[in-house]
Structure 1
Amino acid sequence: MLSKPAGAAGTIFILSTLSTSSIEEVAKAAPNTIKWFQLYVYNDRNVTQQLIQRAEKAGFKALVVTVDTPVLGNRHEDVRNKFSLPNHLRLANLEGVLSNQIQKAVKSSALTEYVATMLDETLNWQGIAWLKSITKLPIILKGILTAEDAILAVQHGASAILVSNHGGRQVDRCPSTIEALPEIVKAVGDKVEIYLDGGVRQGIDVFMALAIGARMVFFGRPVLWGLTHDGEKGVTKVLQIMREEISLAFALTGCKSLRDITRDMIIHESYYHRL
C-alpha cells in the first residue's frame, strides 16, 4: 500500500483511475492521508461522473485529469509480451461498471486496446468545462508541456497544472519536464500553482524544480521500487531517503526555507559547455 506511507510522511497521494485498489478501499485504509484522484475521461461520460462522485464521497480533495492520453503511445515491450493484467488483479474502480478488457490482449497489449476502446480520444477544452460543471473539486490538468497549453488551461479554469510527459512513455523525443517547466512558469506562474513529475529520482531533482518555479513535485517510480523491495516498509524508506536528500540540498545551497531558493541557483548545463 502506497497511500499510508504517503500520509505518514505528510505528503499527498494520487490514486489512479486504473488502480487495482478502489477509491473506497484506499479511503478506508488511509483516512488521514491527503488524497487526490487521477481521472481518465471515458467515452461513457456516466462512468466518468460516477468516478468523480465516488471520489468526492470518499473525501478526495482534487481531480488530476490526464490530458495527454487520447491514445496510448508505442510501448514495444508491452506489445511484444501482449501485456495483460494478471488474473488475481482487477481494475478495482471499474468493477461492475465496465469490462475488464485489460485482462486479455487480442492483437497488441491489453492496456493499449483498453485505452483505444474505453477512453475519450476527443477530449478537448469543452470537456474540461463539462468536468467543472459537475464537481466543485479543484481540477488539475496533468500532461501540460508548453506555455501555449498552460495559458489555455488557465483560460479554461484549471486550478493548477501538472507539468508531465507521462513518464516519457507517450511521445518519443518529447522534452523532459524540467526542460519544459521554465516557459510554463513564465507564462502562468503568477496565475495558478504549477507542479511537476517525471525524472525525479533524488532530492536535488526536487530542489531544481522548486527553484525554477514549481510549487510541488510528484514522483512514482522510486516508491514502486521501494514497494517491490520491501513492501510498505520499502515505500516508507524511499520517502525518508527523499526527505533527507532534499534537506541536504537545502543545507548545501545555503537555504533555510523555500523562500531562500531562487531561480538563479539553476543554470542550464549548456552554459558550461561554452567554457
Structure 2
Amino acid sequence: MDFKRLTYFVAVAEELHFGRAAARLDIAQPPLSRQIAQLEAELGVQLFDRSRSQIKRTQAGDALLVRARDILERLDRTKREVKRIGEGAAGRLRIAFIGSASYGVLPELIRTFRSEYPDVELALSALNNAELKTALIERQIDIAFARPALEDDEIRCDLIHQEPLILAVPAESDLAERDELILAELKRETFVLYPRRPRPSFADYVLKICKKEGFIPGSEVLAQDYQTAIALVSVGVGISVVPQSVSQSDRHGVVFRPFEEGNLGTAISLAVRRDNQSVHTNQFVTVAQKFARKVKKRSG
C-alpha cells in the first residue's frame, strides 16, 4: 500500500464520485478507477459499493478512511518537520562552554540566537578546554566556547570577545580595601589557580603572567574549576585571577579588584570542526560573528 494510492482512496471516499475525485486530484478518471481496484485487490476487500447512480463506502472503506486520513496527516506533518530541520528552522544544536563563559557575553549570544531560531533546541553543557576539544573532535558536540581557543588542525576558532583579567580577593582581607592592586606586590599571597587538570591550562596562563611580572606566587592552591576557585577565595584561602566578566555576578565573601601591570587579558573563542557543514552550526556561527562585531563596536 503506497501513499499515493491512499491519497486517491481518500479523495474517492470523501467525494463518493469518481469524476469529482479525479477532478480534485487533477488526473483522468480511468487511471483513478484502476488505482482503487488495485488497492482493493491488494487488501483483499471491497472498499466501495458501486451502482450506476452512486457509490457508497463499505464498512471496510469507512475504517480505511479514518486510518488513511491519520496516516496522510502524519506524513504531511513529518514532511513539514523534516523540511524545517533541513532548513535550520528546527532541530537540535549541541553547545558546550568553558565554565567562566557563562558570566560573560555567552548568555546574551544564546538569547540572540534563540530569538532568531526559537524552534531550534539548544543542548548546553559546561566542560573544560581539554574536554571541549575531545568532544568537538569526536562529534559529541557541534560548537564549543573555549578560553582562549582550541588548537587543532581539525578545528576552526573565531574570536568572540576579548576582556581584561581581574583579581578576586576575600572580602575580609586588607586587599579588599584598595581600589586597584599591583600584581607584583601580591607575590607572597596564595594564588588559587584552576583547573587542577589537565595541564597546561588557564592556571599556567596565570603563572605565565606572574613570571612576566618577575615573580612566582609564594604558594599555590589548585582547584578543579572556576566555581571551586571562587568558593575558596570566599573563605579566605587566597586570591584568584579571573576574567573581568565574572565580576558582574555578586559572590558573597568575594570582591573584585582591577590590576593594570601585566594584564594580558583573556578571550572567548567559538570553535567548530572544519568539516562541519550542518545548517544549524553555520547559522549559529553567522549569528555569533554578527554578535561579536556588535559587542566590539559597543565596547570600543
Structure 1 length as normaliser, TM-score? 0.23
- In our comparison, the structure showing a higher alpha carbon Rg is 2
Higher strand share: 2
Q: TM-score, normalised by structure 2?
A: 0.22
